[in-house]
Structures are given as structure tokens and as C-alpha cells.
Amino acid sequence: MSYVANAQRYESMNYRRSGKSGLKLPLISLGLWHNFGDVDSLANAREMVRTAFDLGITHFDLANNYGPSAGSAEETFGEILAKDMRPYRDELVISTKAGYYMWPGPYGEWGSRKTMLASLDQSLQRMKLDYVDIFYSHRPDPHTPLEETMMALDHAVRQGKALYVAISNYNVEDTKRAMDILKQLGTPLLIHQTPYSMFNRQVEDGLLAQLDDGGAGFIAYSPLAQGLLTNRYLHGVPADSRAASEHSPFLHTKDITEQKLAQIKQLQQIAEERGQSLAQLALSWVLHDERVTSVIIGASKASQIAENCQVVDQVSFTEEHLTRIEAILSNDK
């Protein structure tokens, strides 16, 4: 049976404008960083994309290297598009990125014009698309002039292969320079994507203000601090968890200190008072700052997406809860 989207999908989601642009994004976006590779279940990936769209999630975030294997998340998404989502293409915001390693030789990574535009062409082929809605520079290139990378983004728009341009993982100084260059080129920066959570607040040190001043949006990834801000670690480190894995590049057992566990338990108490799970509290907290356009969630099953989407009507906090959260987080010594 062919897929027919939920007719009430836009009644359950809220949307925010990205900076001063005309584009609105859902408060919750779905990231395809994990669980959409060629080693994963296509049926499960398909169910997650369908569930997300049925709940009003219109933004699907990819990159050239997502998988594993690298590139396979885009291939998976392209197959789902062909089977289910093609009639809804104009309701979707599809983003991809270039900058991390993809192929051998000197042009397979970083931010040269050749690398960026070749990577975009490959991404479009994998997803069987004529264009993406947002094309990112995935990381700054210390060896390529910033002007060259930004001109490549601008050229992608002028070619009709992207509608908007964005950057990810740039510091405040380089973000300001990128915004200035893109403004001069006539293709203003749409949005910046970088980690933001209760346990990672570096964006508050000037980046959010810079984006707000320049009219760009901000989208947070890793809002659950690689799973720390869930009930998974409330009682220690499970043997099958990401932190316990020797191969985890991001979260390790040594990161989960007694101090961190104490904070998690105190935050859990506030979550219960608000009628939320700890993960829902973490998402709500990131979104309570209206300079945050959207948060990117990852998921391994459709039910997680449905649970996370429940936060969209609960992103405000009482002053008491905000004060208590700040006290808990400031105790991170």
C-alpha cells in the first residue's frame, strides 16, 4: 500500500523562522546521522521518516558522510523519497553537508571549491534529487581561504542545486567572517549548526548573539549530550550503552562521573515535576531560547520520535525551574 501522509500533520508541530529569512523550520528536526546506513534496517528507517513527517517534522538533516558506510544514509533517504515521499517534496526541507572525508586523494574532504561542488553533485545523485534545500560547509577548512568555501556555497545556489546555504562547527570569529562574505555575495547565511545542550553551552559565549545580530538562525545537534540527558544513565553505565563501548568516539565511561550522575538525577526531578522525561526536559530547555530555530534529534525507532515531538508545546519554563536548573548546571566542577 502506498504511503499517504497524516492529514493533521501540521496541527501537532510548531515552527520558527530561521533568523530573518523567509524559511520556517519545525522545532524538532530529524537527523540521519545514525541508523540510516546500509548496515541498518531499511524498513525501520522508512518507518521513522514516515512517523516524523506524520508528526509535522518537515526538516531532514543529512551529510555526505552519514552512514555507515559513508554516503549510505543519503542513498537510504533517496530510496524512501522514491517510495513514499516524492509527492510531498515541496513540503520537505532536505539538508546535506560537505567537508569531512569522503574519497581518496586531495579533493575528498575539507572546503575547496572543487571538493564542495563535487560532493554536492554526488549527494544529489545518491538522493536522486535535482536540488537540496540547505547546503552546509560541514566544518571550517584551515588551509582554504574562507572566501573560496563561501563562494562555493554561493555558486551552488546560483546553479540551482541548493536553495539556502549554511555552516556547521564554526567558531564565532569565522562565523562573522562567513556571514559578511555571504552577504556581499548576495546569498546570506541561513543557519549555523553546532552542538548545544545543558552540558555543552559554548554557543552562549557569543555565537548565538552573533547569529541573532546578523539575521541567521541556529540549529542545535546533540541536544541530549550523546545520551547523557536521558534516563539511560540514571543508575550508572549499562553494559550495552554507547558510553560502555570501546568504539564510541564521543561518549566514554570516564565522562560519566559521580558529579555528572548527581546532576542528571537532580534534573530528572525537575523533569518529573514538569510531567516530562529527562530527554524531553533537555529538548525543552534548548528550545526555550527563541534564538534556537530547531533541534536535531536522532532516533533508533519511531516511538522515540513521537516522544520527543511532545515537547513542542512545553518549551517555556517557570523562573523557579530555570533558576534551579542553572544551580544544578553551575555545580559542574
Task: Determine the pLDDT at residue 251.
Answer: 63
Picking from 305, 23, 279, 59, the residue whose alpha carbon sits closest to that of residue 287 is 279
Question: What per-residue confidence (pLDDT) applies to 306?
Answer: 98
Distance of CA 300 to the CA centre of its chain: 15
Q: What is the DSSP pairing of strand 132-137 with strand 15-17?
A: unpaired
Rg (CA), the chain: 19
Mean pLDDT of 130-158: 98
> Which of 98-102, 215-219, 235-239, 326-330 has the weakest average pLDDT?
235-239
**68-122, pLDDT tens digit by residue?**
999 999 999 999 999 999 999 999 999 999 999 999 999 999 999 999 999 999 9
Q: For the chain, what is the HEC assignment?
A: CCCCCCCCHHHCCCEEECCCCCCEEECEEEECCCCCCCCCCHHHHHHHHHHHHHCCCCEEECCCCCCCCCCHHHHHHHHHHHHHHHHHHHHCEEEEEECCCCCCCCCCCCCCHHHHHHHHHHHHHHHCCCCEEEEEECCCCCCCCHHHHHHHHHHHHHCCCEEEEEEECCCHHHHHHHHHHHHHHCCCEEEEEEECECCECHHHCCHHHHHHHHCCEEEEECCCHHHCCCHHHCCCCCCCCCCCCCCCCCCCHHHCCHHHHHHHHHHHHHHHHCCCCHHHHHHHHHHCCCCCCEEEECCCCHHHHHHHHHHHHCCCCCHHHHHHHHHHHCCCC
Residue 258 makes CB contacts below 8 A (sequence gap 6+) with none
More confident residue, 231 or 158: 158
pLDDT computed for residue 234 by the predictor: 78
Note the pLDDT of residue 253.
Answer: 67
Give the rounded percent of residues in the chain with a pLDDT score beyond 90. 89
CB of 178 closer than 8 Å to CB of 148? no
Residue 228's closest CA among 193, 257, 270? 257
What is the pLDDT averaged over residues 275-303?
98
Question: pLDDT band at 12, cuts 50/70/90?
Answer: very high
- Mean pLDDT score, 222-237: 86
Chain CA centroid to CA 67, Å: 15
In terms of pLDDT, which residue wins out, 201 or 257? 201
Confidence of residue 246 (pLDDT cuts 50, 70, 90): low
Is the CA virtual torsion 43, 25, 72, 66 positive or negative?
negative
Identity of the residue numbered 61: D
pTM for the structure as a whole: 0.95
pLDDT of residue 83: 97
Annotate 148-187 with b (16+ C-beta within 10 A) or e (fewer). ebbbbbbbbbeeebbbbbbbbbbebeebbebbebbeebeb
Whether 244 has a pLDDT exceeding 80, the answer reads no
Q: What is the pLDDT of residue 138?
A: 98
Crossing angle of helices 207-214 and 172-185, rounded to 10°: 10
Which tops the pLDDT comparison, 257 or 11?
Answer: 11
Residue 149 is predicted with a pLDDT of 99
Q: Is the pLDDT of residue 26 over 80?
A: yes
Q: In the prediction, which pLDDT does 93 show?
A: 99
How does the average pLDDT of the chain come out, rounded? Answer: 95
Q: What is 9-226+286-302's CATH topology?
A: TIM Barrel (3.20.20)
